Structures are given as structure tokens and as C-alpha cells.
Amino acid sequence: MSAEMVIRRAVAEDAERLTGMVHASGAYQGQYAPIIVGYRVTAEDVARHEVFLAEDGEGRLLGFYSLWPDVPELDLLFVADDAQGRGIGRLLVEHMLDRARQVGLSDVRVVSHPQAEGFYRSVGAERAGTVPPTPPKVTWERPELWFRTG
């Protein structure tokens, strides 16, 4: 991981790049592809939620997350496929937990992609159960996990 990596608040102009990262994710290929068909991160999403992104020193998007304090839920967390395994996801989760504490949250829910459950558990989330399928887009159960911010 670059020592020059920065995590900053996303702005409306970042929405297309964030959408591109979602659609380029190798995690949402094959059976998991339907969930992101037509999905967009919009300028309104960026303005309404706590959306932060990680960039390298050259401005390359490495990852991002979207925290919804009113729910409270971590709605999205993505790391570029070619940047995975370098600690970026862990740093984004740490940042998200700090941000959650700043806005007064004691817990944050995550409805995880099945393949990401191990990652979330490795960074402190605890499994609470599963969320049933919601066809036609989601035809599989998803792990439900919770982070404690304290």
C-alpha cells in the first residue's frame, strides 16, 4: 500500500467513478451479477450519506465506503480488485468506525456479500444471522453482521 494513500469525503463528481468500481468488481460476476444491474452511486447518494473514498498519491481510486447513519448501516464497501490484499479494506473499515463514533453510532449493521463475510469478521464484525433472498435480483441468503463502535 502506498504511503501516499488518502481517505477523503467523496463529492458529487466522484459518483461515476464509484459506480464504475461497483460494476468492475469481480465479486459481482456470475450468479451475483444481477444485484448490481442498473445500480448507480449518484451525486445525491454522495451528498446524503457518509461516503468516503481512498485514493493513491496519483488520484487513483482504491476503494470506498458508504455509511448510512440514520439506519445505521454500512451500505457499500469496495476495494478495487487489483488493490485487494494490501490493507485498504481494513483502513476503510477503521475509518468508517471512527466516523460512526463521530456521528453518535454505537453499532453499524452490514448485510454482506457472502464472499466478504470472512473479511468483515476479520476486522471485528460479529455475525447476527442471515438476510433472506429478495428475488429477482438477490436469489441467495446474505450474512448479517454488526460492528460495535465502542
- Tell me the domains of the chain and their CATH numbers: 6-106 (3.40.630.30)
Separation between Cα atoms, residue 99 and residue 95, nearest integer Å: 6
What is the C-alpha to C-alpha distance for residues 77 and 112, in angstroms, rounded to an integer?
9
What are 134-150's pLDDT values in tens digits? 999 999 999 999 999 98
Q: Is the pLDDT confidence value at 121 over 50?
A: yes
**CB 31 within 8 Å of CB 140:** yes
pTM for this entry: 0.95
pLDDT digits (tens, 9 = 90+) for 6-21: 999 999 999 999 999 9
Neighbours of 51 (CB within 10 A): 22
List the strands of the sheet with 73-79, edge to edge: 6-9, 50-55, 61-68, 73-79, 107-111, 142-148, 126-131
Percent of the chain at pLDDT exceeding 90 = 97
